[in-house]
Amino acid sequence: MGALEILNDKQTEAAKQIDGPVLILAGAGSGKTRVLTNRTAYMIEEAGISPWNILAITFTNKAADEMRQRIDDLVGFGAESIWVSTFHSMCVRILRRHIDLLGYDTNFSIYDTDDSKAVMKDVLKRLQIDPKQYPEKRFLNRISNCKNELSTPEDEAEEAAGDYADELFAKAYREYQDGLKKNNALDFDDLLMKTVELFKAFPEVLANYQNRFKYIMVDEYQDTNTAQFELIRLLAEANRNICVVGDDDQSIYKFRGANIRNILDFEKVYPDAKVVKLEQNYRSTQTILDAANAVISNNTGRKVKSLWTDRGEGRKIRFINADTAYEEAQDIVESICRAKREGKCTYRDNAVLYRTNAQSRILEEKCIMAGIPYSVVGGVNFYSRREIKDILAYLKTIDNARDDLAVRRIINVPKRGIGATTISKLDEYAQENGLGFYDCCVRAEDILGHGRAAEKIGEFVSLISVLRSKLEFISLEQLVDDILERTDYEEMLNQSDPDDAAERMENIGELINKVVAFEEANDEPTLSQFLEEVALVADIDNVDADTDAVMLMTLHSAKGLEFPNVYLSGMEDGLFPGYMSICSDDPGEIEEERRLCYVGITRAMDNLTISAARSRMIRGETQYNAVSRFVKEIPEDLFEGNLVKKGHTSSPQAAPVSLRTASASPSAHVIPQGGVKKPSVGVKKPFIARAAAFTDLKKGADIAAGSAPDYGPGDRVAHIKFGAGTVKALEKGPRDYQVTVDFDEAGTKKMFAAFAKLQKI
Q: Strand 215-218: give its sheet, edge to edge.
A: 83-86, 54-58, 215-218, 242-246, 22-26, 274-278
Rounded-to-integer distance, Cα 59 and Cα 48, Å: 27
Give the closest residue to 357 by CA, choosing from 693, 734, 718, 723.
693
Collapsing DSSP to helix, strand or coil, 109 comes out as strand
Backbone Cα Rg of the chain: 28
Give the separation between CA 681 and CA 220, rounded to whole angstroms.
55
Dihedral (C-alpha) 519, 520, 523, 526: value to the nearest 10 degrees? 0
Query: What whole-number distance in Å separates Cα of residue 16 and Cα of residue 18?
Result: 6
Contact predicate 337/565, CB 8 Å: no
The SS3 of residue 286 is helix
Taking alpha carbons only, the member of 611, 643, 58, 635 closest to residue 326 is 611
For 172-220, give the DSSP string. Answer: HHHHHHHHHHHTTEEEHHHHHHHHHHHHHH-HHHHHHHHHH-SEEEESS
Rounded (5°) CA angle 230-236-239: 160
What are the angstrom distances between the C-alpha of 585 and each of 478, 582, 690? Answer: 36, 8, 18
| Whole-angstrom distance, CA of residue 615 vs CA of residue 742 | 34
Among residues 218, 222, 220, which one has the least CA distance to residue 231? 218
Q: Where are the beta strands (DSSP E) in 247-380?
A: 274-278, 318-324, 350-354, 374-377
Q: For the residues of 231-283, what is the DSSP string, one character each?
A: HHHHHHTTT--EEEEE-GGG---GGGT--THHHHTHHHH-TT-EEEEE-B-SS
Question: Is residue 251 within 8 Å of residue 257, measured between CB atoms?
Answer: no
Using alpha carbons, select from 260, 322, 280 the residue that is nearest to residue 595. Answer: 260
- For residues 643 and 650, is the Cβ–Cβ distance under 8 A? no
Nearest Cα to Cα of residue 293 among 560, 590, 594: 594
Closest by CA to 511, choosing from 355, 343, 362, is: 362
Query: Considering only CA atoms, which of 282, 290, 306, 308 is closest in space to residue 7?
Result: 282
Cβ neighbours for 158, distance < 8 A, ≥ 6 positions apart = none
- Catalytic residue annotation: 32-33, 219-220, 250, 603
Are 184 and 108 in contact by the 8 Å Cβ rule? The answer is yes
- SS3 label, residue 659: coil
Residues 655 and 663 sit within 8 Å (Cβ to Cβ): yes
Rounded CA separation 567/592 (Å): 20
Query: Which DSSP letter does residue 680 get?
Result: P
